[in-house]
Amino acid sequence: MKSMMLKWYAKGQGALGNEKGAQAIEWIALAGVVIAVFGAVIAYFDSDPTLVGESIGDTLSNIIKKLDGN
């Protein structure tokens, strides 16, 4: 296990050493954050999936009303 982690660490350090590798790691991290947020939303609305659509619709309606000045 320790040798595997050391190999991953060495690969990660090599990837961070150049611009292309660092950018790839940033995109992977961003994807991980997006997946975590979607997972949290799904877990929160797990009891009734229709609440997700209603909640998004209500939020968008409120934003549009504020933009219109109502």
User: Of 1-15, 22-36, 44-58, where does the model show the most confidence?
Assistant: 22-36
Q: Could you tell me the pLDDT band of residue 70, with boundaries at 50, 70 and 90?
A: low
Alpha-helical regions (H) of the chain: 2-16, 19-44, 50-68
pTM for the model: 0.44
In the block, tokens 């940033």 appear at: 26
3-state secondary structure of 47: coil
* Contact yes or no for 52/45 (Cβ under 8 A): yes
